[in-house]
Amino acid sequence: MSRPTSARLPFEPIASQTRGETIDIVAATIGVSRRTIHRWINHGIPAEQADRAAIALGTHPAYLWPEQWCLIG
C-alpha cells in the first residue's frame, strides 16, 4: 500500500527509539545513508520511509507516530 509522498513525519520518535545512538549506528540499523538521516532530521521522514525505518527498529510506525500515522493511512 503506497502512502502520499508529501506526508512527512518528525524524526524525534526515531531519535527516542534509538536512545541517542550515533547517526552512523542509526543509519546502519535502518539501512540508509548518513546523508539520509541528516535529511530526515532537517526535513522530516517521508511516510513510506518512516514505515520501513520503524520496522527496521523492530516496531510499528503507529507506535512511533500515533497521531500522525492514522491521518496518512
Residue ranges per domain, the chain?
A: 8-72
Residue 3 has pLDDT above 90, yes or no: no
Residue 5 has pLDDT above 80, yes or no: no
DSSP letter string, 11-26? SHHHHHHTTT--HHHH
Domain 8-72 has CATH 3.30.2010: no
Nearest to 53 by CA among 70, 36, 73: 36
CA distances from 3 to 17, 28, 35 (A): 22, 24, 23
pLDDT range class, residue 4, cuts 50, 70, 90: very low
pLDDT tens-digit profile of 15-70? 999 987 999 999 999 999 999 999 999 999 999 999 999 999 999 999 999 998 88
Predicted confidence at residue 49, as pLDDT, reads 95
